[in-house]
Amino acid sequence: MSFACETLAQDLPSAKGSDPQIMGWMRGTPPDSSKLVLYNDLSFYRFPQSRWAFSHFRELMPTKRVWRGAGPAFPFTYQLASDIGAVSFTPMDGGPSMTWEEMLAATYADAALVLHRGKVVYERYFGASSAHSPHISFSMTKSYYGTVAAMLLEEGLLHEDKLVGEYLPELVDSGFGDATVRQILDMTTAIEYSEDYADPNAHVFDFARAGGIFPKGDYTGPEGFYGYVATLSKEGEHGEAFSYRSVNTEVLGWLIARVTGENAVEVLQDRIWSRLGAEEDAYILIDSLGTGWAAGGLNATLRDHGRFGEMIRRGGQWNGQLVVAGTIVQDIQRGGNPDKFAKAGYVTLPGASYRNQWWVHHNPNGAFSARGVHGQTIYIDPTAEMVIVRLASHPLAANANYDDVSLPAYQAIADFLSNP
């Protein structure tokens, strides 16, 4: 089994050269054998086939619908600014100046949206993506679930100082049993688990096999996300340092389900998605037991992610109603403990922190974001009154591979919109 998305030669084809429309993946009835993108052989997660797959996950593995609700879609106002594409910036490494659209190409963007004061000022689609095609969110999903969990804290259904084992007896003997809900939310647990996508032996791939995100192969461990997290052991002391481990979010999804008595996907649907005036249903990848992949399974359209981001930017107010309490948004913006975060060594995020499954940048504009591997982003800049959504299919997983161009580009757009 090859994990070629992270172990690649240096001479990668460009975004244009790997455009799935040009390459003709899955064209024909049936497609030519050389143009197939399949689940069982892992070609869906192999570049450049992944550029087609990331907009077609529902055709590859089981999913659960996230209903958009019965009401009308919330209409965006358009005030497109033709000069945004030419906005330039200098990458973090001091390399040659780039434009916004050059950054999108360099990060293999599939779609990009910029909202300013709630109006659409930029919207583009590339490759296999379109206005009405859901795209895999990967770990942006965490911020949705973290927001739901924060709502349950606000309502007293969850308590941040209680131990996971008090809610989930199934995890008492695991590494999570004596972690607090807050430590789960802010990822300061100490769990023996590797999320290094460059290492084919990392735990993250067994987790993916357990949940059916990858084919089982020679994996013989427990079935399902919850079964897998119950096998993980403690390594060190909880609460001492930030350590990004997606399994925390699976535990969070389980906590949400346990205290509400509902499937966690349906809680997300009822409390957030159906209240956004979304244009489309979203969907979430599920394991063989029907459990949604809380850490990364949400698939949704560009504009609907924009609605979620704009709702958060507005302090939880959206479409004439309060979706999320303003105190929750304020808590996210204040961030977590930057000293604990610094121990993780994210060189592209100096001074940052993590709170309620959101990345808090602690830059002068107070930006914070939902982030997912291969280039997924909802970037919220309160000072510039701006929301950026980028969906992408970068061949490398970790955001550290392209933060050096992404983050300066976001700041350049913020400066441009703030000083027209």
| Residue 11 confidence (pLDDT) above 80 | no
What span, in angstroms and rounded, lies between the C-alpha atoms of 387 and 65? Answer: 26
What span, in angstroms and rounded, lies between the C-alpha atoms of 252 and 261? Answer: 14
Pair type for strands 119-125 and 77-78: parallel
Torsion angles phi and psi, residue 220, rounded to 5: -125, 10
Neighbours of 71 (CB within 10 A): 12
CA-CA distances (angstroms) from residue 83 to 66, 80, 89, 226, 417? 36, 9, 14, 48, 11
Contact 247, 222 (CB under 8 A): no
Contact 146, 185 (CB under 8 A): yes
pLDDT band at 202; cut points 50, 70, 90: very high
What average pLDDT is seen over the chain? 96
CA R_g for the chain: 20
Q: pLDDT digit string (tens) for 20-56?
A: 999 999 999 999 999 999 999 999 999 999 999 999 9
What span, in angstroms and rounded, lies between the C-alpha atoms of 128 and 133? Answer: 9
The whole-number average pLDDT for the span 229-249 is: 98
Q: What's the burial of 319, exposed, middle or buried (CB within 10 Å: 0-12/13-18/19+)?
A: middle
> Which pLDDT value is given to residue 3?
40
> Which pLDDT value is given to residue 7?
43
Nearest to 116 by CA among 329, 387, 419, 308: 387
> Which pLDDT value is given to residue 197?
87
How would DSSP label each residue in 383-404? Answer: TTTEEEEEEE--SS--GGGTHH
Residue 77 pairs in a beta bridge with 119
> Which pLDDT value is given to residue 179?
98
Token code pair at residue 37: 């993108």
What span, in angstroms and rounded, lies between the C-alpha atoms of 114 and 121? Answer: 6
Sign (positive or negative) of CA dihedral 235, 237, 238, 240: negative
pLDDT band at 198; cut points 50, 70, 90: confident
Q: pLDDT digit string (tens) for 71-106?
A: 999 999 999 999 999 999 999 999 999 999 999 999
What span, in angstroms and rounded, lies between the C-alpha atoms of 21 and 16? Answer: 10
The whole-number average pLDDT for the span 386-401 is: 97
Contact 141, 294 (CB under 8 A): yes
Q: Which domains does the chain show, CATH number per domain? A: 109-418 (3.40.710.10)
- H and E: helices and strands count for the chain: 14, 16
> Which pLDDT value is given to residue 168?
98
Nearest to 122 by CA among 302, 281, 277: 302
Give me the half-sphere count of Cα atoms (radius 13 Å) on the Cβ side of residue 124. Answer: 18
What span, in angstroms and rounded, lies between the C-alpha atoms of 225 and 288? Answer: 9
Instruction: Provide the whole-model pTM.
Output: 0.97
Contact 79, 37 (CB under 8 A): no
What span, in angstroms and rounded, lies between the C-alpha atoms of 278 and 301? Answer: 9
pLDDT band at 10; cut points 50, 70, 90: low
> Which pLDDT value is given to residue 122?
98
Nearest to 121 by CA among 77, 75, 79, 76: 79
Neighbours of 101 (CB within 10 A): 17
* First CA to last CA distance, the chain: 51
Q: Which residue has the tokens 């013989």?
A: 220
> Which pLDDT value is given to residue 12?
82
Q: Catalogue the active-site residues.
A: 139
- Please give the distance of CA 253 from its chain centroid, rounded to a whole number: 15
Alpha helices in 241-378 (DSSP H): 247-260, 264-271, 302-313, 326-334, 338-342
